[in-house]
Amino acid sequence: MTDDLLWLWIVLGVVLLAGVGSALVAPRLRRRGKGDDGAPTAVDEAPQDTLAPPDVAPVETSPTAPALETPAPVAGRMVRLRDRLARSGSPLGARLLSVLSRTDLTEDDWDELEETLLLADIGAGPAGELLEALRTRVRVEGVREPAAVRELLRSELLNVVDPTMDRTIATTRPVVDGVAKPAVVLVVGVNGTGKTTTVGKLARVLVAEGRTVVLGAADTFRAAAADQLTTWGARVGVETVRSDREGADPAAVAFDAVAKGSRDDVDVVLVDTAGRLQNKAGLMDELGKISRVITREAPLGEVLLVLDATTGQNGMQQAKVFGEVAGVTGIVLTKLDGTAKGGIVVAVQRELGVPVKLVGLGEGPDDLAPFDPEQFVDGLLG
Ligand SMILES: Nc1nc2c(ncn2[C@@H]2O[C@H](COP(=O)(O)OP(=O)(O)OP(=O)(O)O)[C@@H](O)[C@H]2O)c(=O)[nH]1
């Protein structure tokens, strides 16, 4: 009886093994050659790697993170602007100096000076003040020496640029109810002036100074703007908060960015916005909502208005609208490398009553400098 049972088990085992073996071998044969009817199967035509056994896991190729860049030091960047202004075709200062150095200045000479100033976009008000001051000093001091004339012009130009204005960017962290919040900087302006680029460059300036930063891509009008900003941030290890939906609520993105900045305990949150609003009421609504929503999470430390220096007086009207609706606290004058008309610095400060704090000097990642009136005037004088 026991022997019979043993044989039964052996026979069952052999049958089972034969079944499993053929089940494994048959598909392999089909893969290698033909189907049952000898015709090539769909599997034959498939690329070889699709036949890998399921227990071989696909290799995860995570995208290689870009190597982090080290932003250039901030000190000395203005020197580059000074040199560029000085080398530009016909520096404002050189023309002013050539007229001022004439003996016995006539009314025609003064008219020529005025015209030169107006052509440099300095604006009628500041031009009048500058000429008045120069007339008085030339009459009283009777300056003739080229070096003395230069010094006289330098000090009067410096006066109209106003070295007393506070040009620091408010990036000191505010403390609310005993908790340190990130300093929030909102960047506004007409589209194409260089807002996104400026936010990216400013992030690099802050990183160069050892600050931690989060970016908010609240320019939801153009999906590419968020991509552009994300790339700027990634290059220096800075995260960007964005919405994947084009046309998403910019205030919601701004809020999320500031909330993330608070959670991550970062020093500064920079928020980029869109500038494509059709009318003043729409602009006021959108920027008003962004500011209100941000301040629920942290105080708004700075509102920077980005202006394109090459648009000269034409950009002033738009600048004024932004100035009225956005509570601007500082100006970023971009593309100063593309104009010899440095006078716009003076005009825009006068029109808006706020200082130029940063200037754009080119398309390079570190072509943004804290504005320095003395270096600027030296550049104008050539
Ligand atoms: N030469 C020069 N070009 C600049 C400067 N700043 C920005 N640009 C260029 O200006 C162009 C527009 O810049 P963006 O930063 O995209 O402008 P934006 O205001 O964000 O534009 P929207 O997103 O359309 O609202 C880009 O080609 C920048 O490289 C600067 O200081 N000098």
Question: Among residues 198, 230, 209, which one has the least CA distance to residue 365?
Answer: 198
CA 172/CA 183 separation, integer angstroms: 6
Q: How close is the Cα of 250 to the center of ligand 1, in Å?
A: 20
Q: Is the pLDDT of residue 33 over 90?
A: no
Give domain limits for the chain: 72-382
**Nearest atom (ligand 1) to Cα of 360:** 31
Q: What ipTM, to 2 d.p.?
A: 0.96
Confidence class for position 21, pLDDT limits 50, 70, 90: very low
**Nearest atom (ligand 1) to Cα of 222:** 23
Q: To 10 degrees, what angle do helices 146-161 and 344-352 make?
A: 30
Range from 103-112, 278-287, 307-316, 365-374 carrying the lowest mean pLDDT? 278-287
Threshold 0.95, pTM exceeds: no
Task: Write down the pLDDT at residue 279.
Answer: 75
* CATH number attached to the domain at 72-382: 3.40.50.300
SS3 content of the chain, % helix, strand, coil (to 5): 50, 10, 35
Whether the CB of 253 sits within 6 Å of ligand 1: no
Residue 226 assigned to a binding site? no
Length of the chain: 382
